[in-house]
Amino acid sequence: MHVIWEGIREALRLIFGGDADVLQITLRSLWVSGVALLIAVLIGIPLGSVIALRDFAGRRFVVTAVNTGMAAPPVVVGLLVAMFLTRNGPLGQFRLLYSTWAMVIAQVIIALPIVAGLSLAALQQLDSGLRQQIAALGAGRLQAFVAQLREIRIALLAAVMAAFGAVISEVGAVIMVGGNIKGQTQVLTGAIVQETRIGRFATAIALACILMMLAFGTNLALTLIQQKGRESG
Amino acid sequence: MNAGGAPVMVARDLRVVRGKRTLIRVHHFEVGSGLVHVLLGPNGAGKSTLLKALNGLEQAEGTLEFEGRLVRGSAARLALRRRTAAVAQKPYLLSTSVLNNVASGLRFRGVRRSEAHAAATEALELLGVAHLADRKPARLSGGEAQRVSIARALACDPTVLFLDEPMVALDPPTRRSLVNDLLRILDHRGIAAVWVTHDRDEALAVGDTVTFIEMGEVVQSGPALEVFSRPASESFATFLGLDTYLEGTVIAGDSGDLRLMLGNGKELACGEAPLGHAVACIPPEDVVLLTTAPEHNMSLRNVLHGTVRAVLPDGRLLRVSVAAGDLEIAALVTKAAFEELGLSVGSPVAAAFKAAALHPIPRLDRLQQTP
């Protein structure tokens, strides 16, 4: 019990004392997951929309692949990315393994199916009558696409929240492709694993608290936007 | 109603095919400027598919001309949709304010926000719902939402307005008031309309012309009153609720008038029809019930004597079935008239009707089968 109390006291000191290492790890986590999420959203929403709105050969297979991707274990993603980025791998020439960009790539692969899959599901649930009404109002293809995204904006925000939750809390892939190198590729989850392993519970608790606050803060902000959107809907 | 002018839209040999199924096959359909064209037919007849094909929402084979120009390809169909407007069964409002909804069609057409909002406000005023401008769609009643949907269509100042059963979800008073307002606006602005309905009363109330569609094909088309009084097929007559059918042969009488000779040898004066085998229908509202001999000045040339077989309520009226020998004639009468005549089931009564009320429908199918 004493260890836990000590840990919490130390954690509060690290958080509010502005510890440089903790701040650096936190900012790196935000950068890696933020960039990955941005890329996943930019690709995932159009991808989900194309799958939802277009008929093409093998559509069912693509939908199944996206849905499977939503449940892909991060360690499997880490293994695949590591295989591609390793020196002898197909993309080894870029020397990205054990860099933050390798972590971004892994997290994009984790977040992309979530964003695409949830966008796809939301668009498919949109009333086809509303879709036709938008076209009948004289909307061009791009205008109709944007209008439909506006109609599912609450579901899209849920997709972003789910994807952010998945990447910020993910540990397997970032350790495998980033190497958990202190001062270079270490993010919150990797640091918590390492600090716990060497018995520095106070630092681990501090980092865990920050991770929880990040998850809570981001989701709170998105939820507020989402509910505002619902009220104005 | 506006007198109407040159056709703004002409469809020829229009076919919508989905997979191996032909959903509609329409040889010719015209939308006259300023006229209300009703597409009437039972559920699943292909009315809405034809409407979508005319509106450029459904790809169709054949030719479609709008204001003298051929509509071919997705760009031409988009241009067509930007000169027309559509109102569906449900209001399908976007999740934004009523004002933004009504302005949305103009915004899609590239009209500036301030201009679009001014036109939207005007359209809302026209429909009497300007006070709802800031409301969200979720806080509107069904009638209000459909008014907003119609305002949204009218704000675009369309040449043709496509309406797909727009009143079907509304209660009768709301429907009446909205129909009246809409017809007034269409007439005032000279907007042509293609109005899909399966409600014969609504068709008769709003239509300048009526096109009856069944199984994807046009069965009959023409001025509303003419089409209603002279249905060209048994199925259309049944759809119109003309439930008295007399099978016989149309023959020319001694004085050149037309007569329907029934199977039992009895002859009845009938309306115009080609000579030959026919099934004649009599609108029940055209049948008069009498307990005394008809006066000489009445033009009721057909009088069938029988007894009241059954009496059923039909809205505010009573539907009285009269058994006259092996014939059965239906009449619609008011409750007051029924009581005044002192009728009850089994009472002797005469069913009388004019020659024009007996409308023979040629049995082409049987004639063709006759060797």
Residues of chain B in contact with residue A134, where contact means CB-CB under 8 angstroms, are 94
Among the partner-chain residues B81, B96, B138, the one whose CB lies closest to the CB of A135 is B81
Residue B123 in contact with partner chain A when CB distance is under 8 A? no
What pLDDT was estimated at residue B363? 67
Residue B18 in contact with partner chain A when CB distance is under 8 A? no
Question: Rounded to a whole number, what is the distance in Å from the CA of B328 to chain A's nearest CA?
Answer: 45
- Percentage of residues of chain B with pLDDT beyond 90: 68
Residues of chain B in contact with residue A129, where contact means CB-CB under 8 angstroms, are 88-90, 92
Q: What is the pTM of this model?
A: 0.79
Confidence band of B278 (pLDDT split at 50, 70, 90): confident
**Does B55 sit within 8 Å of A136, measured CB to CB?**
yes
Residue A150 in contact with partner chain B when CB distance is under 8 A? yes
What pLDDT was estimated at residue B335? 92
Does the domain spanning B7-234 belong to CATH 3.30.1280.10?
no
Q: Label each residue of chain B as H, E or C.
A: CCCCCCEEEEEEEEEEEECCEEEEEEEEEEEECCCEEEEECCCCCCHHHHHHHHCCCCCCEEEEEECCEECCCHHHHHHHHCCEEEECCCCCCCCCCHHHHHHHHHHHCCCCHHHHHHHHHHHHHHCCCHHHCCCCHHHCCHHHHHHHHHHHHHHCCCCEEEEECCCCCCCHHHHHHHHHHHHHHHHHHCCEEEEEECCHHHHHHHCCEEEEEECCEEEEEEEHHHHHHCCCCHHHHHHCCCCCEEEEEEEECCCCCEEEEECCCCEEECCCCCCEEEEEECCHHHCEEECCCCCCCCCCCEEEEEEEEEEEEECCEEEEEEEECCEEEEEEEEHHHHHHCCCCCCCEEEEEECCCCCEEEECHHHHHHCC
Boundaries of every domain in chain B: 7-234, 243-362
Residues of chain A in contact with residue B152, where contact means CB-CB under 8 angstroms, are 137
Among the partner-chain residues A136, A143, A233, the one whose CB lies closest to the CB of B86 is A136
Do B7-234 and B243-362 fold alike per CATH? no
Residue A58 in contact with partner chain B when CB distance is under 8 A? no
Question: Rounded to a whole number, what is the distance in Å from the CA of B333 to chain A's nearest CA?
Answer: 42
Domain B243-362: state its class.
mainly beta
**Does A137 sit within 8 Å of B152, measured CB to CB?**
yes
For A150, the closest chain B residue by CA position comes to: B95
pLDDT, tens digit (0-9, with 9 covering 90-100), for A155-209:
999 999 999 999 999 999 999 999 999 999 999 999 999 999 998 888 888 899 8
Residue B79 in contact with partner chain A when CB distance is under 8 A? no
Question: Rounded to a whole number, what is the distance in Å from the CA of A99 to chain B's nearest CA?
Answer: 44
Residue A128 in contact with partner chain B when CB distance is under 8 A? no
Confidence band of A14 (pLDDT split at 50, 70, 90): confident
pLDDT, tens digit (0-9, with 9 covering 90-100), for A38-86:
999 999 999 999 999 888 999 999 999 999 999 999 999 999 999 999 9
